[in-house]
Amino acid sequence: MSEVFVRVALDHPLPTLFDYRWGASDAAVVGTLVSVPFGKRHVVGLVCEVAAHSEVPAERLRDVHSVCTACPPVSAHWLALASFAADYYQRGLGEVALPALPQALRDASRWSRLFAPEERYRLTSEGRAALPDALPARATALAKLAQALAQADFLLAADARALHPKALATLDTWRAAGWVTLEVIDAAAVPAAASLPDAPAPALPTLTDEQASAVEAIRDADGFAAFLLHGVTGSGKTEVYLRALAAILAAKPDAQALVLVPEINLTPQFEAAFRARFAALDVSAIVTLHSGLAEGERARNWFAAHTGRARIVLGTRLAVLASLPQLAIIVVDEEHDPAYKQQEGLRYSARDLAIYRAKQLGVPVVLGSATPSLESWWQADQGRYKRLTLSRRAVADAVLPTVRLIDLEDERRRGRASIEGLSGPLIAAMKARLERGEQSLVFLNRRGYAPQLACDACGWVAGCPRCSAYVVLHKPERALRCHHCGWESRIPRSCPECGNVDIAPLGRGTQRVEETLGSAVPGARVLRIDADSTRRKGSAQALFSDVHAGEVDILVGTQMIAKGHDFQRVSLVGVLNADTALFSHDFRASERLFAQLMQVSGRAGRAGLPGEVLVQTRYPRHALYHALGRHDYVGFANATLAERRDAHLPPFVYQALLRAEGRTLEAALAFLQQAAAELAQIPAAERVTVYDAVPLTIVKVMHVHRAQLLIESASRAALQATLRAWQPLLRSLKGVLRWSLEVDPLDI
Ligand code: ADP
Ligand code: ZN
Ligand code: ZN
């Protein structure tokens, strides 16, 4: 019998496949997961090619150690997708393919247990009411069990047993009493051919004409088509996704849909909407994929998608690389959101990969947004994406809010009272909402109490010892914290330079505004939502439900509160500190600010209450605020695109960044200068513009100095060819700790 060899992708920076002997008796199949010896360890890899020969000398070839039989091979399509992403973003195939798999699958010791059927106990509402009062006093083990059930969505049999050896017997008694239910989820089971019944789900809203034609266009797409669904906030984009999915899933009994959202926090709201609408589908036919899931659950959900059992996958950017053998439609909600760009490791854009994937499979992709990215808007201008417009709010009587600019200079000149950065008109407007029982939302993009702590006497400002950055004052935690590296220290009692005890916070963050609101609007229940207040798992969801339940009068927060949430009783939005982004060195800052302000404004007046947006600014005549006041995305986009065209900026050119990290700034810059010199020997680089190497704005983080070199070209092909030829040259350069290439960078 002739020998068989496999070429395996491993998560390793060398952009090559690794050869092994296939010793197993079963035939080798491309796409299979294997465990192979690598150095002194065993690592998990993916079989990418099967061959009859190997160039590697026989004495150096090693055998595949084991084969993951529990998991069917990934498809050729999926491998082609990973391979495209690797090529485009200048990485090795293994560096893309393996991190795209759930962590649990990349540990061969867990393979046998991963997809075993799972028993889930859920508390019923009777159980929630009866327990724990029905328990005998001092029954601590039982109380623990009841608590574990109450705290999570469900409790796994295995976890219950870990709590108490006799837990399962107890759970059976509780089941008999109707307090808990038991479900057995078998991820490996053949998917039930869950056809969607034709019977209409209860009380679907009547589509507006614009919604109806959007749904029709998507449903009738023949093969690949990219749709840019431009719908003002509250125009009912979700309803369009739901109807389009229903049509496509109903047309094909095994079709799958992928729906991407920018933030983990938006998945519960979407999941609820999809579960309600597709109630006819088995519970396990709708799964979520995001980094907030426990490893086991993520693996099972991934597996459900991979085997076709899951018909709808809802996820964040990482879900774009899920294995979906019957993918028939992709939706990217809030497609403009920078969160779709991965900012470490493989720096991919999930939106761009979604488009590639749709093209590869010949299926429709829908990009939805009230403020599309200028890249997508321009594609639509070119006719490459089909524009679908929802110009009005869907709920009868709901109109877009009125936007009022509060001129801070004018307020000051007239000597009008303000409290700690909150202007008189904004405070009055919040008080009026409080009286009417409506909610207000205060948005500012800065968390912490104050961005700086400073000494008036000598000019000292508290800085991070590891970074070239100021540290942020966090009052509830009584700490100074570096937002770049996480360094933390206690708040000093006096100035470490001159001993002055009168050191004071400068500027305002969400914590400080929260504190001020408490006194400026007496009687209001104030809630803060930002990365600090939602650090614990599940806490964001709990806070958002307080808002929905009307237990909050004023919500203050960062961009976390701006995105996508359908708040029914918010009728006022206040915007603080937006001006800084108007004059940023980053050419995308104004696009981002405009999108954020449109989004946050969109939270007001959704359910028929007239909404109002108050923007505090020193530049009330700025064009961006004027466009915001008229809800004029189109005007803003066209004007900004014209500026970009004149200035030769994306989307009219393609860019890539080379970043270097060194022990000194000089080392990082020297590396980049050498790298730039190497471009001279690359023919394709003739069509590439090379800029000077420059330090990053925050040049030092964690004692490491960072600099970057921007290159760009009007030809994407020339840029790609240059990068491909440049990589091996860069690998031979020395002198820095690390370097990385980023294609289509968002932050420059
Ligand atoms: P968007 O995502 O465009 O901001 P949503 O999808 O959140 O808007 O919809 C806003 C609100 O409009 C939701 O409460 C939704 O239930 C409602 N809605 C959507 N379509 C319709 C319709 N055709 N008729 C009535 N209400 C609708
Ligand atoms: Zn001092
Ligand atoms: Zn730091």
Looking at residue 729, the DSSP 8-state letter turns out to be H
- Decide: 271 in ligand 1 pocket, CB within 6 A: no
Three-state SS across 650-661?
Answer: CCCCEEEEEEEE
Residue among 697, 699, 640 nearest 666 (CA): 699
Q: Where are the alpha helices (DSSP H) in 101-139?
A: 111-114, 125-130
Nearest ligand 1 atom to alpha carbon 232: 3
233 lines ligand 1 (CB under 6 A): yes
Structure tokens at 263: 């933030």
| Half-sphere CA count of 711, side-chain side, radius 13 A | 28
- Residue position matching structure tokens 């090559």: 16
d(CA 268, CA 343): 24
Q: What's the rounded Cα separation, in Å, for the pair 661 and 669?
A: 9
* CA proximity to 106, closest of 239, 9, 14, 192: 9
SS3 64: coil
pLDDT at 461: 96
Residues shown for the chain: 748
Nearest residue (by CA) to ligand 1, atom 14, is 566
68 is in an annotated binding site: no
The angle formed by the CA atoms of residues 246, 250 and 251, to the nearest 5 degrees, is: 120
The Cα–Cα gap between 467 and 743 comes to 26
pTM metric for this prediction: 0.88
**Are 114 and 105 contacting, i.e. CB atoms less than 8 angstroms apart?**
yes
Q: Is residue 238 within 6 Å of ligand 1 at its C-beta?
A: yes
Bond preceding residue 132 cis, omega within 30 of 0 = yes
Cα of 127 vs its chain's centroid, Å: 36
**Per-block mean pLDDT, blocks of 10 residues, the chain (748 long):** 90 91 91 96 96 93 93 96 96 95 92 78 88 78 85 83 85 90 71 48 85 97 97 94 96 95 89 90 87 89 93 97 98 96 93 98 98 98 97 86 95 91 96 96 95 95 95 94 94 94 94 96 96 85 90 94 85 94 90 94 84 96 95 97 96 97 97 97 96 94 96 97 96 94 92
Instruction: Give the nearest ligand 1 atom to 396 CA.
Output: 25
Residues 460, 739: Cα–Cα separation, whole Å? 34
448 Cβ closer than 6 Å to some ligand 1 atom = no
Written as six digits, the tokens of 539 are 């806490």
The residue whose CA has the least distance to atom 13 of ligand 1 is: 236
Give the relative orientation of helices 665-678 and 716-732 as an angle to the nearest 10 degrees.
Answer: 120
Q: Is 485 labeled as ligand-binding?
A: yes
- The closest of 443, 419, 560, 590 to 509, measured between CA atoms, is 443
CA 580 to ligand 2 centroid distance, Å: 27
Q: Where are the beta strands (DSSP E) in 507-634?
A: 526-529, 554-557, 570-575, 612-617
Q: What are 259's two structure tokens?
A: 């729906």
**Nearest-ligand number for the alpha carbon of 369:** 1
- Does ligand 1 lie within 6 Å of residue 87's CB atom? no
| Separation CA 115–CA 185 (nearest Å) | 10
Distance 577 CA to ligand 2 centre (A): 27
395 lines ligand 1 (CB under 6 A): yes
Task: From residue 242, give the alpha-carbon distance in Å to each of 259, 282, 475, 675.
Answer: 10, 17, 44, 49
Task: Kindly give the residue spans of alpha helices, DSSP state H, lying in 155-294.
Answer: 157-163, 167-176, 209-219, 237-251, 267-277
**Domains of the chain, first to last:** 5-112 (3.40.1440.60), 118-185 (no CATH), 209-390 (3.40.50.300), 402-450+507-642 (3.40.50.300), 654-743 (3.30.70.260)
**Residue 238 — φ and ψ, nearest 5°?**
-60, -40
